[in-house]
Structure 1
Amino acid sequence: MEESRFGILSEEQLQSIINNKVCLNTKAVVKTATKILKTYLNERDLGDIDDLVNVSSEQLNLCLRKFYAELRKVDGTKYARKSMVTIRNGLQQHFIKTRSEDIISEDRFNTSSALFKAVLVQLKKAGVGETKSKEPIVIEDMEKLYESAAFSVDTSEGLQNKTLFEYLYYFCNRGRENLREVQKSDFCIAVDPSKREYVSVINKQTKNHRGYDIHNKDHKQSRMYDRPGDSRCPVASFKKYLSKLHSSNPNFWQRPKRKYSDDEDTWYENSALGKNTLYSIMSRVSEDYTLSKRYTNYCVRATSITVLDHKGVEARHIIGVSGHKSETYIKLYSSHLSEDKKRQMSDILSDNVPPPPPPAKRSARCEQFEPLR
């Protein structure tokens, strides 16, 4: 029998493809949201979340309407607006899968959606859990990082810190997304027509750009170029870090060795760096080297976007690096004023304030006599 050119997949395999479309972060959101709704239903003696699969759309709408209004955290306080949106999005995914209904977009859920929006307005007025954008790293702290042992290329930890920082900075990556899954094979070192060497990242699926989005095939176009003659050259330290990794381990973020010699070929263990350690590197460095504030890995991305915006790079070009779908997201970073800009604006306003009058001059005749005693 002639072998078919086409594969043969079972229904389970087809379903597996659909399930794998959803990223791990989304799965976690769905799990958390359904757990919260299940707890609410049990406490109100309204049955179980599985019972909602068979109720009418009208009943589900009424249930969600009441749920949005009465939703609280474990300690009884209200959720932040962003958390409310996340929970609702998780439930949306759940009901699309279990009922083939969209509780956000479909008209049959208009009343629960209206109540949800009203709750968000209340939370905003009350100032509950107002989200703050990640602050960019100030220039003074940047200098401290590069001048201290935090980014020393002569130690396994310092070299890894610098490589991580510059990976987030030049490629404008989020603090956690896909960070743990980065492999040594995900990078390309090349030379452009001007003979400048650079490092680029092979495009991977991200939060904003799923594999089925054919219009964003090359959504991340960032490159990290060399700086010939500069002791802080990011490409030079990247290549050194790559050369010191354990050859048998494909992971890019490996656990630093505690004991090694400077001339040793391998500075890192044959094991991946733990998630918690990897995700908290900037927080730990902030404390260890007494930076002005406690930064997170995501603050590095905020720094990258803010610097590009303040230097006049157009938003349409910035999103080519950041991977945002729309230029409107850049405004969230653009609205953050740097310390230098705040001082500059204050000085401009101060210059417009009339100066005080000069002190009155005393006559020469009066100055000849000593005051009466």
Structure 2
Amino acid sequence: MDDQNLPFFGEDLYQFVRNEILQTCQPQQAQEMPQPQESRQRFSALDSNELDKLEHGRVEKCTEWSTVWGVKLFKAWLQERDHDTACEQLPPEELAGLLRQFYGEVRKDDGTPYAKASYACLRAAIHRHLTGPPYHCKYNILKDKEFQAANNLYIGVLKQLKRDGKDTCKSYPPILASDLRKMFETKTLSVDNLLMRTKEQNLGYLGTTWYQLAVCRDNCVV
């Protein structure tokens, strides 16, 4: 080979090898490049139904059932009296007049009046229904002045029940001191050390806790 061609041969070989290396490395570099991460939203996107579901969760199941019962009873009365059952759309003044009449006329299926506690649950159920989702009424049937006449009649119904001796809400007789002492002696109620109690004593401690909570609730003692 001519010596004069060696530099050119060497330069061509260099360029060839360089191009091959670049072609080999370019796909690898493309694969190694980090992919951009998808942007994540910080806040959740909830529709109105999902928001209402969360708001409904503020009350317990038993309270929710009580609300359904009270509203169903009120709307049954409205229908029987040929009134619009869409009470949620009524202005406060008109609703107040209907509630006043309803409090005075509502009865059980057998025609007897409800107990005092049932009247309280009934009024509270209607209030929860109106102020909860999806209606969110701005008025308060328990306190607002538009409903003062209705609430006065409600109180009058409760007092009349008491005067007539028809308040069927009855309390259990108080526990005698001798019976209470016997329950502690027999470990029916127990305050033994937690780490040294048997299964039966654990049940006794559970009963003691329940008893103390019930006494505090009934006597309003903290």
TM-score, normalised by the number of residues in structure 1: 0.41
- Residue aligned with 2:220, SS: helix
Provide the C-alpha distance between the structure 2 equivalents of 1:300 and 1:133, rounded to a whole number of angstroms. Answer: 20
Q: Does 1:80 align with 2:115?
A: yes
Provide the C-alpha distance between the structure 1 equivalents of 2:202 and 2:150, rounded to a whole number of angstroms. Answer: 56
1:304 is matched with 212
Structure number with greater Rg is: 2
Q: State the shift of 1:330 in Å.
A: 3.5
Q: State the shift of 1:72 in Å.
A: 1.0
- State the one-letter code of the partner of 1:24: K
**Change in 2 beyond 3 A, CA 1:240/1:122:** closer
**Change in 2 beyond 3 A, CA 1:142/1:37:** farther
**Change in 2 beyond 3 A, CA 1:239/1:112:** same
Q: Does 1:119 align with 2:188?
A: no
Q: State the shift of 1:144 in Å.
A: 7.4
- Residue aligned with 1:128, SS: coil
Contact 1:124 / 1:130 at 8 angstroms: preserved in 2?
Answer: no
Provide the C-alpha distance between the structure 2 equivalents of 1:5 and 1:238, rounded to a whole number of angstroms. Answer: 51
1:132 is matched with 170
Provide the C-alpha distance between the structure 1 equivalents of 2:172 and 2:213, rounded to a whole number of angstroms. Answer: 11
Contact 2:96 / 2:150 at 8 angstroms: preserved in 1?
Answer: yes
Q: CA RMSD in A?
A: 3.6
Q: State the shift of 1:40 in Å.
A: 1.3
Q: Deviations over 1:272-296 (max 9, x none)?
A: xxxxxxxxxxxxxxxxxxxxxxxxx
- Larger fraction in helix: 2
Counterpart selection for 2:102 from 61, 67, 81? 67
TM-score, normalised by the number of residues in structure 2: 0.65
- State the one-letter code of the partner of 2:55: I
Q: State the shift of 1:21 in Å.
A: 0.8
- Larger fraction in strand: 1
Provide the C-alpha distance between the structure 1 equivalents of 2:48 and 2:89, rounded to a whole number of angstroms. Answer: 24
**Change in 2 beyond 3 A, CA 1:227/1:90:** closer
1:236 is matched with 198
2:7 is matched with none
1:154 is matched with none
Q: State the shift of 1:240 in Å.
A: 8.2
- Residue aligned with 2:129, SS: helix
Unmatched 5+ stretches in structure 2:
1-37
Contact 1:136 / 1:300 at 8 angstroms: preserved in 2?
Answer: no
Provide the C-alpha distance between the structure 2 equivalents of 1:77 and 1:125, rounded to a whole number of angstroms. Answer: 15
The size of the alignment, in residue pairs, is 178
Q: State the shift of 1:54 in Å.
A: 2.1
Q: State the shift of 1:136 in Å.
A: 4.8
Unmatched 5+ stretches in structure 1:
152-161, 171-223, 242-296, 308-321, 332-373
1:329 is matched with 220
